[in-house]
Amino acid sequence: MSEIKIAKTLDAKNLSCPLPILKTKKAIAEIEIGEFIEVLSTDPGSVADFKAWTNSTGHELADQSAENGIFRYIIKRTK
Amino acid sequence: MSEKKKKLAIIASKADIPGAYPPLILASTAAAMDYEVGIFFTFFGLNMLKKNKLNKLKITPAGETAMPMPIPQIVGMLPGMTDVATAMMRSWMKGANVAKLQELMDVCVEAGVKLIACQMTMDVMKIKRKHLIDECEVGGAAAMLEFASDADITLYI
Protein backbone atom coordinates (compact mmCIF):
# COMPACT_ATOMS: atom_id res chain seq x y z
CA MET A 1 0.00 0.00 0.00
CA SER A 2 2.90 2.35 0.63
CA GLU A 3 3.36 3.12 -3.06
CA ILE A 4 -0.20 4.42 -3.42
CA LYS A 5 -0.22 8.19 -3.37
CA ILE A 6 -3.54 9.78 -2.50
CA ALA A 7 -4.31 12.68 -4.81
CA LYS A 8 -7.44 13.75 -2.99
CA THR A 9 -9.45 12.91 0.11
CA LEU A 10 -13.22 13.14 0.20
CA ASP A 11 -14.76 13.40 3.65
CA ALA A 12 -18.24 11.91 3.27
CA LYS A 13 -18.64 11.11 6.95
CA ASN A 14 -22.15 11.41 8.45
CA LEU A 15 -23.77 11.61 5.01
CA SER A 16 -26.62 9.28 4.14
CA CYS A 17 -27.09 7.28 0.98
CA PRO A 18 -26.73 8.19 -1.84
CA LEU A 19 -24.59 11.25 -1.05
CA PRO A 20 -21.24 9.44 -0.54
CA ILE A 21 -21.59 7.93 -4.03
CA LEU A 22 -22.81 11.16 -5.65
CA LYS A 23 -19.96 13.14 -4.11
CA THR A 24 -17.39 10.51 -5.06
CA LYS A 25 -18.57 10.61 -8.66
CA LYS A 26 -18.00 14.37 -8.68
CA ALA A 27 -14.71 14.27 -6.81
CA ILE A 28 -13.09 11.57 -8.95
CA ALA A 29 -13.47 13.83 -11.96
CA GLU A 30 -11.11 16.27 -10.22
CA ILE A 31 -8.15 13.88 -10.15
CA GLU A 32 -6.17 12.58 -13.12
CA ILE A 33 -6.59 9.14 -14.64
CA GLY A 34 -4.33 6.74 -12.75
CA GLU A 35 -4.47 8.77 -9.54
CA PHE A 36 -6.12 7.63 -6.31
CA ILE A 37 -8.89 9.19 -4.27
CA GLU A 38 -9.54 8.39 -0.63
CA VAL A 39 -13.16 8.43 0.54
CA LEU A 40 -14.24 8.35 4.19
CA SER A 41 -17.77 7.34 5.11
CA THR A 42 -19.68 6.40 8.23
CA ASP A 43 -22.52 4.76 6.29
CA PRO A 44 -22.42 0.96 6.78
CA GLY A 45 -24.38 0.63 3.52
CA SER A 46 -21.45 2.22 1.71
CA VAL A 47 -19.55 -1.10 1.75
CA ALA A 48 -21.98 -2.63 -0.72
CA ASP A 49 -22.49 0.66 -2.53
CA PHE A 50 -18.82 1.34 -3.30
CA LYS A 51 -18.37 -2.21 -4.52
CA ALA A 52 -21.35 -1.78 -6.84
CA TRP A 53 -20.31 1.68 -7.96
CA THR A 54 -16.76 0.69 -8.86
CA ASN A 55 -18.05 -2.46 -10.59
CA SER A 56 -20.47 -0.43 -12.60
CA THR A 57 -18.24 2.50 -13.53
CA GLY A 58 -15.02 0.54 -14.02
CA HIS A 59 -13.01 2.59 -11.51
CA GLU A 60 -10.79 0.39 -9.37
CA LEU A 61 -11.47 -0.19 -5.68
CA ALA A 62 -7.81 -0.55 -4.75
CA ASP A 63 -8.27 -0.88 -1.02
CA GLN A 64 -10.87 -0.66 1.70
CA SER A 65 -10.83 -0.80 5.46
CA ALA A 66 -13.01 -0.05 8.45
CA GLU A 67 -11.96 1.33 11.78
CA ASN A 68 -14.02 2.80 14.63
CA GLY A 69 -17.08 3.02 12.46
CA ILE A 70 -15.30 4.84 9.66
CA PHE A 71 -15.12 3.15 6.29
CA ARG A 72 -12.18 4.09 4.11
CA TYR A 73 -12.05 3.46 0.38
CA ILE A 74 -9.11 3.97 -1.94
CA ILE A 75 -10.29 4.22 -5.52
CA LYS A 76 -8.17 4.53 -8.64
CA ARG A 77 -9.57 6.61 -11.47
CA THR A 78 -9.32 4.43 -14.56
CA LYS A 79 -10.96 6.54 -17.25
CA MET B 1 -16.14 2.84 -23.15
CA SER B 2 -17.62 1.35 -26.29
CA GLU B 3 -20.06 -1.01 -24.58
CA LYS B 4 -23.66 0.11 -24.37
CA LYS B 5 -24.63 2.01 -21.26
CA LYS B 6 -27.12 0.45 -18.89
CA LYS B 7 -30.45 2.18 -18.94
CA LEU B 8 -32.98 3.00 -16.19
CA ALA B 9 -36.54 4.15 -16.86
CA ILE B 10 -38.73 5.36 -13.99
CA ILE B 11 -42.35 6.43 -13.81
CA ALA B 12 -42.78 8.84 -10.89
CA SER B 13 -46.44 9.12 -9.93
CA LYS B 14 -46.27 10.49 -6.38
CA ALA B 15 -44.98 13.67 -4.85
CA ASP B 16 -45.31 13.37 -1.13
CA ILE B 17 -41.96 13.08 0.65
CA PRO B 18 -41.80 9.25 0.75
CA GLY B 19 -42.96 9.07 -2.85
CA ALA B 20 -40.55 11.67 -4.19
CA TYR B 21 -37.30 10.38 -2.69
CA PRO B 22 -37.04 6.94 -4.32
CA PRO B 23 -37.16 8.12 -7.96
CA LEU B 24 -34.68 10.94 -7.36
CA ILE B 25 -32.29 8.82 -5.27
CA LEU B 26 -32.29 6.02 -7.83
CA ALA B 27 -32.04 8.35 -10.82
CA SER B 28 -29.16 10.39 -9.39
CA THR B 29 -27.28 7.28 -8.26
CA ALA B 30 -27.81 5.53 -11.57
CA ALA B 31 -26.48 8.60 -13.35
CA ALA B 32 -23.43 8.46 -11.05
CA MET B 33 -23.03 4.82 -12.11
CA ASP B 34 -22.94 5.96 -15.75
CA TYR B 35 -26.44 4.71 -16.57
CA GLU B 36 -28.63 6.46 -19.09
CA VAL B 37 -31.66 7.57 -17.05
CA GLY B 38 -35.13 8.86 -17.81
CA ILE B 39 -38.02 9.75 -15.48
CA PHE B 40 -41.59 10.18 -16.64
CA PHE B 41 -43.50 12.43 -14.21
CA THR B 42 -47.20 11.71 -14.20
CA PHE B 43 -50.22 12.47 -12.01
CA PHE B 44 -49.08 13.87 -8.65
CA GLY B 45 -45.49 13.04 -9.54
CA LEU B 46 -45.60 15.97 -11.94
CA ASN B 47 -45.40 18.30 -8.94
CA MET B 48 -41.73 17.37 -8.67
CA LEU B 49 -41.07 19.25 -11.90
CA LYS B 50 -42.77 22.45 -10.76
CA LYS B 51 -40.42 25.37 -10.18
CA ASN B 52 -39.43 25.87 -6.51
CA LYS B 53 -41.65 23.03 -5.37
CA LEU B 54 -39.36 20.16 -4.44
CA ASN B 55 -38.32 21.32 -1.00
CA LYS B 56 -41.94 22.16 -0.14
CA LEU B 57 -43.34 18.67 -0.60
CA LYS B 58 -45.13 17.24 2.42
CA ILE B 59 -46.17 14.02 4.07
CA THR B 60 -49.63 13.39 5.46
CA PRO B 61 -49.92 11.21 8.59
CA ALA B 62 -53.44 10.06 7.60
CA GLY B 63 -53.15 6.56 6.20
CA GLU B 64 -49.40 6.31 6.93
CA THR B 65 -49.94 3.57 9.50
CA ALA B 66 -46.22 2.85 9.86
CA MET B 67 -45.30 6.43 10.64
CA PRO B 68 -44.01 6.56 14.23
CA MET B 69 -46.29 9.29 15.57
CA PRO B 70 -47.65 9.06 19.10
CA ILE B 71 -51.21 9.85 18.04
CA PRO B 72 -54.21 7.82 16.88
CA GLN B 73 -54.72 7.66 13.10
CA ILE B 74 -57.92 9.74 13.24
CA VAL B 75 -56.04 12.71 14.72
CA GLY B 76 -53.82 12.69 11.65
CA MET B 77 -56.77 13.93 9.63
CA LEU B 78 -57.22 17.12 11.65
CA PRO B 79 -56.19 20.43 10.10
CA GLY B 80 -52.52 21.18 10.63
CA MET B 81 -51.45 17.58 11.19
CA THR B 82 -49.92 17.35 7.73
CA ASP B 83 -47.64 20.26 8.59
CA VAL B 84 -46.77 18.67 11.93
CA ALA B 85 -45.89 15.35 10.29
CA THR B 86 -43.94 17.15 7.56
CA ALA B 87 -41.91 19.08 10.12
CA MET B 88 -41.14 15.86 12.01
CA MET B 89 -40.14 14.03 8.86
CA ARG B 90 -37.89 16.88 7.70
CA SER B 91 -36.15 17.04 11.06
CA TRP B 92 -35.53 13.28 11.06
CA MET B 93 -34.10 13.45 7.58
CA LYS B 94 -31.94 16.43 8.42
CA GLY B 95 -30.67 14.55 11.48
CA ALA B 96 -29.64 11.64 9.28
CA ASN B 97 -27.99 14.02 6.77
CA VAL B 98 -30.21 12.91 3.91
CA ALA B 99 -29.86 14.98 0.75
CA LYS B 100 -32.61 17.47 0.04
CA LEU B 101 -34.85 16.63 -2.89
CA GLN B 102 -33.62 19.69 -4.76
CA GLU B 103 -29.99 18.54 -4.36
CA LEU B 104 -30.87 15.19 -5.90
CA MET B 105 -32.76 16.85 -8.74
CA ASP B 106 -29.76 19.15 -9.37
CA VAL B 107 -27.55 16.06 -9.73
CA CYS B 108 -30.05 14.57 -12.19
CA VAL B 109 -30.18 17.76 -14.26
CA GLU B 110 -26.41 18.10 -14.26
CA ALA B 111 -26.00 14.47 -15.34
CA GLY B 112 -28.43 14.91 -18.20
CA VAL B 113 -31.19 12.68 -16.85
CA LYS B 114 -34.12 12.83 -19.25
CA LEU B 115 -37.06 14.44 -17.42
CA ILE B 116 -40.38 13.98 -19.18
CA ALA B 117 -43.50 15.83 -18.00
CA CYS B 118 -46.79 14.08 -18.73
CA GLN B 119 -48.80 16.31 -21.06
CA MET B 120 -52.11 14.73 -20.09
CA THR B 121 -51.48 15.47 -16.40
CA MET B 122 -50.61 19.07 -17.30
CA ASP B 123 -53.98 19.37 -19.03
CA VAL B 124 -55.89 17.75 -16.15
CA MET B 125 -54.19 19.80 -13.44
CA LYS B 126 -54.08 22.96 -15.57
CA ILE B 127 -50.30 23.17 -15.27
CA LYS B 128 -48.60 25.24 -17.97
CA ARG B 129 -45.14 24.67 -19.43
CA LYS B 130 -43.90 27.86 -17.80
CA HIS B 131 -44.75 26.42 -14.35
CA LEU B 132 -42.27 23.59 -14.90
CA ILE B 133 -38.49 23.72 -14.73
CA ASP B 134 -36.78 24.58 -18.01
CA GLU B 135 -34.76 21.34 -18.05
CA CYS B 136 -37.73 19.03 -18.58
CA GLU B 137 -39.41 18.09 -21.79
CA VAL B 138 -43.09 17.41 -22.37
CA GLY B 139 -44.34 14.10 -23.70
CA GLY B 140 -46.91 11.37 -23.46
CA ALA B 141 -47.21 7.62 -23.09
CA ALA B 142 -45.52 6.95 -26.42
CA ALA B 143 -42.49 9.07 -25.47
CA MET B 144 -42.14 7.15 -22.20
CA LEU B 145 -42.53 3.75 -23.84
CA GLU B 146 -40.04 4.53 -26.55
CA PHE B 147 -37.44 5.47 -23.94
CA ALA B 148 -38.26 2.47 -21.73
CA SER B 149 -38.44 -0.09 -24.53
CA ASP B 150 -34.73 -0.94 -24.35
CA ALA B 151 -34.19 -0.13 -20.67
CA ASP B 152 -32.45 -2.63 -18.40
CA ILE B 153 -34.51 -1.54 -15.39
CA THR B 154 -38.02 -0.15 -15.42
CA LEU B 155 -39.67 1.08 -12.24
CA TYR B 156 -43.10 2.44 -11.40
CA ILE B 157 -43.08 4.46 -8.19
**What is the chain B residue with the closest CA to A57?**
B33
**Is pLDDT of B2 > 90?**
no
Q: What percent of chain A has pLDDT over 70?
A: 97
Q: What is the mean pLDDT of chain B?
A: 93
**Is pLDDT of B3 > 80?**
no
Substitution target in A13, A21, A25, A28 with the highest count of B β-carbons within 10 Å is: A25
What's the CATH class of domain A6-76?
Answer: alpha beta
Give the pLDDT score at A31: 97
Residue at A52: amino acid letter: A
In angstroms, what separates the C-alpha of A17 from chain B's closest C-alpha? 7
Candidates B27, B58, B25; CA nearest to B40 is: B27
Report the Cα–Cα distance between both ends of chain A, in Å, rounded. 21
**Is pLDDT of B141 > 80?**
yes
Give the pLDDT score at B62: 84
A4-32: pLDDT as tens digits: 899 999 999 999 999 999 999 999 999 99
The confidence band for A2, taking pLDDT boundaries of 50, 70 and 90, is low
Average pLDDT over residues B44-50: 97
Q: What is the pTM of this model?
A: 0.91
Distances (CA, A) of A44 to A17, A50, B42: 10, 11, 34
**What is the chain B residue with the closest CA to A56?**
B33
**What is the chain B residue with the closest CA to A51?**
B33
The confidence band for B25, taking pLDDT boundaries of 50, 70 and 90, is very high
Distances (CA, A) of A67 to A12, A40, A75, B100: 15, 11, 18, 29
Whether chain B has a CB inside 8 Å of the CB on A56: the answer is yes
Taken as a whole, chain B contains a residue count of 157
The residue extents of the domains of chain A are 6-76
Q: Do B96 and A22 touch (CB under 8 A)?
A: no
Average pLDDT over residues B80-104: 93
> Is A63 marked active-site?
no
Marked catalytic residue, from A6, A9, A11, A17? A17
Q: Give chain B's domains with CATH numbers.
A: 7-59+100-156 (3.40.1260.10)
Would the CA dihedral through A46, A19, B9, B37 be positive or negative? negative
**Higher per-residue pLDDT: B69 or A41:** A41
Q: ∠ at Cα B8 (B60, A57), nearest 5°? A: 115
| ipTM value > 0.90 | no
Residue at B120: amino acid letter: M
